[in-house]
Homo-oligomer: A and B are copies of this chain.
Amino acid sequence: MIVVMKPGATTAEISAVIQRAEQMGCAVHPIYGESRTVVALVGDLTGVTREVFDAMPGVSQTMRIQEPYKLASRTARPDNTIIELEGGVRIGGPEIIVMAGPCSVENRDQIIEIAKAVKAAGGKVLRGGAFKPRTSPYDFQGLGEKGLQYLAEAREITGLPIITEVMTVEAVPMVAEYSDILQIGARNMQNYGLLQAVGKVTRPVMLKRGISGMIKELLMCAEYIVSGGNAKVMLCERGIRTYETATRNTFDLNAIPVLKETSHLPVIADPSHGTGLRELVPAMSRAAVAAGADALIIEVHPDPDKAMSDGRQSLTLEEFATLMGSLRRVAAAVDRFIDDAPTGEPAQAVKMAELIAA
């Protein structure tokens, strides 16, 4: 860490900084300039926060040199983490995994119909919300455990593993029992109690970046989970809040190569929440694959204009199947791949009705 003193800092103030640093076990290198003194601290500073020095008299500014996250960092582990789900789906390797499903599980038939269509088009994981964080207390809040049961039934029928959101500490055991991946939503990125709770289970966790989360904060939140004992963490970019209103959020694709460079954890892109607009999802899905995402998570619905939530950003099942075809081509162009549809030939939008009816 670097501690920069103010121009008129006194000798006593400088000495206090040096002494404090030495107490913390750092090697200290003061540099006396014409108008200012700079104190460089060397050693293991993981537990040393900048605010300790920020608050001392005579200090102008501080700069951290080492990342404060250790376990999540690429420095700690140069190789990519690959997370394998039951059934063999592997996230973080050369195959790009597509997760898809509705915003909310609405009823049994809906989720089973969608699961079949997702599988037919080549999707490998089924998403669906049973507990929904809603801006208004008067909105639909999800089916709860009933929704989890429908998801499990859809998995049994299709073989697709499932991902679903967990919102409270109390619900962690129940959601972990039903699902293959626990999702921590954007509003809960810094809900530290919840992060600690999912750090104690064995299920993989997908952690969404908060709507105003900095990339380094996302990594610190991942560190909460990994340091708690659960190393199977995936990082999800899902759009940030900026001044621009043409899109619901600003889907920050830059985060993908930044995260791949600074961390070994798999990176997932959510173009549905990222943009909030169905018509932008295909282009931004392709862009996410080109930018290096390890997986995508996409909202689909058989009849988006009747969806109970997020219809505005959901693709129809036909649009999704068509998109899968174009994603395969982009994946190949960046030396990765997306599996063909399970029938052995690319799913075609025109066949979807039959497949779903099956």
A window 159-192: CB within 8 A of B: 167-170, 187-188, 190-192
Is the Cβ of B312 less than 8 Å from the Cβ of A284? no
Shortest Cβ distance from A95 into chain B, in angstroms? 17
Is the Cβ of A136 less than 8 Å from the Cβ of B220? yes
Give the complex CA separation of A33 and B2 in angstroms.
12
Is the Cβ of B170 less than 8 Å from the Cβ of A55? no
Q: A212 interface residue, CB < 8 Å from B?
A: yes
Q: A247 interface residue, CB < 8 Å from B?
A: yes
Is the Cβ of A311 less than 8 Å from the Cβ of B257? no
Shortest Cβ distance from A78 into chain B, in angstroms? 11
Q: A54 interface residue, CB < 8 Å from B?
A: yes
The residue among A34, A43, A253 with the most chain B CB atoms within 10 A of its own CB is A253
Q: A251 touches which one: B52, B63, B254 (CB < 8 A)?
A: B254
A188 — which chain B residues lie within 8 A by C-beta? 191
Shortest Cβ distance from A1 into chain B, in angstroms? 10
Q: A22 interface residue, CB < 8 Å from B?
A: no
A150 — which chain B residues lie within 8 A by C-beta? none
Is the Cβ of A275 less than 8 Å from the Cβ of B254? yes
A window 253-272: CB within 8 A of B: 253-258, 261
- Can you list 12 residue pairs at the A/B interface with Cβ under 8 Å? A36-B65, A38-B40, A47-B138, A54-B312, A133-B192, A134-B192, A136-B220, A137-B227, A212-B241, A241-B243, A243-B243, A251-B254
